[in-house]
């Protein structure tokens, strides 16, 4: 009998070990970089989020900046002028290499994140003017000027992630998160549990990641039982099909990547506001959202995505009206219509939408000539001002300024030294966008943002389309340990509480 039980335990051991290992399929060919201050690619953000902490954190399952809470910090204080933040660190936190977390590590991390040579997020972290280490557990950070949503600079996202001050000595920068990197390369990565994690020993023993670019291959691996969690296709029919699979849960959550058509206000004939208004009356956004699917696409009329602090849907609206569009074109001197050009990416997330828009515009005698190119070339050409209508999808830190400054302030127009994503050359709300950045009163700041959004739409700078939400699929026995409503790192957080039942 004893030999039988021993044999049974030995036979069961591989199953137990496997059951403790989460198998994840991530969209991509391979990891780009898992250095948290350089990891800007979508396929890296989720993995980084499983390994690092910030002074503050978004509670697991939330992407709401109003809900930020202390993480590596035990507590914090903000000065009355909003420029100084003081932090007291938790006791007993250690890095993956066993060294203790100290204020010097936090200071090093924030300086590293602000250094363009070592960080992809230096533009954001550059708002930090000085960092003073007061004691091994205390530090004080001073900002150069007021920053909208400033507490996000210290959150578990992008440049807010904390690494050991030995990070630049080579290898993967040591973090403090529930999992640490064991190996990466060849289209795979393996994380193992950090049993000294300050929030408790993780339930999972390891996370095995496969980077799989093909949607079909990821799906086949999931349905064959090879994966427990995969990044999904953000398409309605695919979501519905996967929901019909046995023992399967489909998670659709935000923040999404907000889709917008930017109208080049400096390019004839679009320099005439009547022509821009005609386009606004021609593009049928509800029809586009029906095409994409109501579960994955959230319609939104404002230029700042839904869910962002300061976003509003109280903006001018221009219902589809082909007669009005044709009348505006005639009034502008184009009774026979106009011809526009657009640089369009060949990726499936963009080209089909632009083909729908092309067909809609044709009904008002607006001919859209599309130069379809591969995605890298698309990014190059739109930054050279070669497109009159530019379809763009993006996710940013969920505060209104992050979108308004990048997409609608004239400083962000192509050709400017500070060029970003203002392919519309919009300048209609510069005063409000600039004023909100330094407004200490939150109510007045939000009022300025709302006015800016209304002015952007009134000026015909863009046609907001929809928020394309994140889609992940998991086995029903994967208990995330929280309610998933949002995830700023674009993947479900895997925490110490996550487990396979």
pLDDT score recorded for residue 24: 98
Report strand pairing: 73-78 vs 84-89. Answer: antiparallel
pLDDT for 349-392, tens place per residue? 899 999 999 999 999 999 999 999 998 899 999 999 999 999 99
| CATH of the domain spanning 256-469 | 3.10.105.10
| CATH of the domain spanning 19-208+476-500 | 3.40.190.10
CA-CA distance, 249 to 480, in Å (whole number)?
11
pLDDT score recorded for residue 256: 87
pLDDT score recorded for residue 41: 85
Boundaries of every domain in the chain: 19-208+476-500, 256-469
Give which of 373, 362, 238, 250 is closest to 292, Cα–Cα.
238
pLDDT score recorded for residue 4: 41
Distances (CA, A) of 326 to 221, 358, 362, 365: 51, 16, 11, 8
Neighbours of 195 (CB within 10 A): 11
pLDDT score recorded for residue 348: 81
Give which of 426, 360, 424 is closest to 387, Cα–Cα.
424
Question: What 3-state DSSP class applies to 83?
Answer: coil
For residue 75 the two structure tokens come to 């507590």
pLDDT score recorded for residue 397: 87
CA-CA distance, 468 to 188, in Å (whole number)?
27
pLDDT score recorded for residue 19: 56
pLDDT score recorded for residue 189: 98
- Statement: the pTM of the whole predicted model exceeds 0.95: no
β-pair partners for 253: 470
Distances (CA, A) of 13 to 1, 20, 452: 18, 11, 61
How does DSSP assign 210-249, residue by residue? EE---HHHHHHHHHTTS-SEEE----HHHHHHHHTSTTEE
Provide φ and ψ at 404, rounded to 5°.
Answer: -65, -45
How does DSSP assign 156-213, residue by residue? SSGGGB---TTGGGSSSPP--SSEEEEEEETTEEEEEE-TT-TT---S-SEEEEEE--
CA-CA distance, 310 to 181, in Å (whole number)?
37
Give per-10-residue mean pLDDT for the chain (501 aa).
Answer: 43 48 95 94 93 98 94 97 96 97 98 94 89 98 92 95 94 97 96 98 98 94 97 93 96 93 98 98 97 93 94 97 98 98 92 97 98 93 97 90 96 93 98 94 95 98 96 98 94 98 93
Helix (H), strand (E), coil (C) string for 117-158:
CCCCCHHHHCCEEEEEEEECCEEEEEECCCCCCHHHHHECCH
pLDDT score recorded for residue 143: 96
Report strand pairing: 366-373 vs 338-345. Answer: parallel
Question: Within 13 Å of residue 151, how many CA atoms lie on the same side as its CB?
Answer: 19
Cβ distance 302 to 464 under 8 Å?
yes
Distances (CA, A) of 417 to 118, 134, 410: 21, 38, 11
pLDDT score recorded for residue 395: 82
């Amino acid at each position: 009998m004893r030999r039988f039980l021993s044999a049974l335990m030995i036979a069961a051991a591989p199953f137990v070990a496997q059951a403790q290992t989460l198998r994840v399929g991530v969209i991509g060919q391979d990891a780009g970089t898992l250095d948290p201050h350089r990891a800007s690619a979508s396929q890296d953000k989720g993995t980084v989020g499983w390994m690092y902490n910030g002074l503050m954190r978004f509670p697991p399952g939330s992407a709401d900046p109003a809900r930020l809470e202390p993480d590596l910090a035990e507590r914090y204080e903000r000065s009355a002028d909003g420029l100084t933040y003081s932090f007291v660190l938790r006791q007993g936190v250690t890095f993956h290499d066993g060294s203790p977390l100290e204020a010097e590590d936090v200071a090093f991390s924030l300086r590293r994140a602000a250094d363009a040579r070592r960080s992809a997020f230096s533009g954001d972290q550059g708002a930090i003017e000085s960092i003073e280490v007061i004691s091994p557990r205390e530090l004080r950070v001073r900002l150069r000027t007021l920053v909208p949503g400033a507490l996000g600079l210290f959150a578990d996202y992008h440049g807010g992630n904390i690494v050991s001050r030995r990070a630049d000595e080579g290898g993967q920068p040591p973090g403090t998160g529930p999992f640490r990197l064991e190996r990466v390369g060849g289209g795979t990565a393996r994380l193992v549990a950090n049993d000294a994690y300050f929030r408790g020993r993780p339930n999972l023993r390891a996370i095995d990641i496969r980077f799989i670019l093909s949607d079909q291959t990821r799906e086949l691996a999931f349905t064959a039982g090879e994966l427990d969690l995969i990044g999904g296709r953000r398409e309605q029919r695919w979501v519905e099909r996967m929901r019909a699979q046995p023992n399967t849960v489909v998670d659709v959550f935000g923040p999404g990547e907000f889709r917008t058509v930017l109208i080049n206000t400096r390019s004839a004939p679009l320099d005439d506001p009547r022509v821009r208004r005609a386009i606004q009356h021609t593009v049928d956004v509800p029809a586009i959202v029906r095409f994409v699917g109501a579960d994955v696409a959230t319609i939104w009329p404002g230029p700042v995505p839904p869910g962002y602090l300061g976003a509003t849907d109280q903006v001018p609206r221009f219902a589809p009206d082909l007669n009005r569009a044709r009348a505006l074109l005639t009034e502008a001197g184009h009774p026979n219509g106009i011809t526009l050009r657009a640089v369009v990416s060949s990726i499936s997330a963009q080209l089909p939408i632009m083909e729908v828009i092309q067909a809609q515009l044709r009904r008002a005698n607006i001919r859209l000539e599309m130069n379809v190119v591969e995605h890298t070339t698309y990014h190059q050409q739109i930054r050279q001002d070669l497109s009159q209508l530019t379809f763009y999808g993006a996710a940013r830190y969920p505060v209104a300024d992050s979108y308004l400054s990048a997409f609608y302030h004239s400083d962000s127009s192509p050709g400017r030294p500070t060029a970003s994503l203002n392919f519309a050359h919009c300048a209609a709300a510069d005063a409000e966008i600039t004023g909100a950045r330094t407004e200490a009163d939150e109510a007045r700041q939000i009022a300025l943002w709302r006015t800016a959004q209304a002015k952007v739409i009134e000026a015909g700078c863009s046609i907001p389309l929809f928020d394309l939400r994140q889609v992940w699929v998991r086995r029903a026995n994967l208990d995330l340990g929280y309610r998933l409503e949002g995830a700023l790192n674009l993947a479900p957080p895997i925490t110490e509480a996550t487990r396979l039942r």
